[in-house]
Structure 1
């Protein structure tokens, strides 16, 4: 890591129903691995990752907060929405109810987060409905076209992904990051007013202590 610097630190939140794979997406991003049965998130979990946006010549550190998807933690997780620059709104493509509930989660984010926040709708678990003859497959309940259409209506970015295979996981964060950087160039985010966006150029001493893949469990 010595000699490497990041230009921005961006705060992301990951939200959606319980069991849609939010924690698995974070683990895939930060650790490049998949857990078959991750423990339910209690409150929030944290992970960070350095990504490069070549066309912008920028290195960006993502600070990602994975929020619990149960109602009992709703008041806690809402506090993490404040100041976020990006949001992954996640549903399970094999669960229509999780897609319908995404509307409530989106309303919550828009009520409590920065009005300029970039939100990307992520249809997770596409591996479960792939036709590869493997056991454990489920029927798809949310067509790709329906997810795309709703995302467009709400002004969201959109991607389908698989935390298990890794397909489109980092791409979802990169797509959202590009949109945030574009907003920064247009003056929509300001360092003094937008805590989810920080301009940062740490020293080499600091970098020697940093890791681009960290996860911390925060429980209440």
Structure 2
């Protein structure tokens, strides 16, 4: 069970970098705002360049700081890729359930992610804007099939209604923690650097479901390496 931790003075045991990727206007920044500050801005403007937010959680009695990076999805900002992905241990691959094109681009985004961050990065496919079900252009079944074929987690979210947002982030962070805690850990201060080598060459054997949070579950298949 993972609980939010509010103190600014506690010892940080781990710092895990997570990146948000996907097309522009799929709601990446809104997901970040909902997770980090429990906010939703209906007048949100497109992200220019890169920004990040942090949030501290308790996972298995350890204090974990999530450093979540968000960037614009427009092609003209793709030059930031290498630095953006460097040191990332997890990623949320976000599409808009009402825009089929944003889902069709997921394979390209995932390929780029794995090229820059490695195959061992923990990835969750996110179908955002589940509150707009009447406008749905991507079925849950199609998304599950893609997630299964690519061996990634899957969850549908609504940043507007705060549905599954925290469980999605917490699930990814918990899985990263599970992998890292099983390895020969580096000194705590080196975790602050977000060393990506922690996951390189790690075989990841997972159950079909992540731990349930708030009555929700996420989907994953198979074993990745």
Instruction: Say whether the fold is shared (TM-score over 0.5).
Output: yes
Contact persistence 2:20–2:93 (CA under 8 A) = yes
Residue deviations 1:31-55 (CA, integer Å, cap 9, x gap): 10101121111111110111222xx
Partner of 2:195: helix, strand, or coil? Answer: coil
What's the offset of the Cα at 1:115?
Answer: 3.1
Quick one: which of 42, 50, 56 aligns to 1:36? 42
Contact persistence 2:52–2:67 (CA under 8 A) = yes
Q: Give 1:90's aligned residue.
A: 94
Unmatched tracts of structure 2, length 5 or more: 1-6, 199-225
Q: 1:177-216 to 2 correspondence within 5 Å?
A: 177-187=173-183, 195-196=195-196
Unmatched tracts of structure 1, length 5 or more: 130-137, 199-220
| 1:45 aligns to 2:51 (yes or no) | yes
Q: Give 1:19's aligned residue.
A: 25
The CA RMSD measured in Å over matched residues stands at: 2.2
Q: Give 2:62's aligned residue.
A: 58
Q: Give 2:213's aligned residue.
A: none
Q: TM-score, normalised by structure 2?
A: 0.77
Q: Give 1:215's aligned residue.
A: none
Quick one: which of 169, 172, 196 aligns to 2:168? 172
By relative contact order (CA 8 Å, sep 6+), the higher-ranking structure is 1
Sort the Cα spacing of 1:189 and 1:3 in 2 relative to 1 into closer, same or farther, 3 A: closer
Q: Give 1:115's aligned residue.
A: 119
Sort the Cα spacing of 1:172 and 1:142 in 2 relative to 1 into closer, same or farther, 3 A: same
Residue deviations 1:54-82 (CA, integer Å, cap 9, x gap): xx222211001101101000011342112
Residues in 1 aligned to 2:184 and 2:85: alpha-carbon distance in whole angstroms: 18
Sort the Cα spacing of 1:17 and 1:156 in 2 relative to 1 into closer, same or farther, 3 A: same
Sort the Cα spacing of 1:82 and 1:2 in 2 relative to 1 into closer, same or farther, 3 A: closer
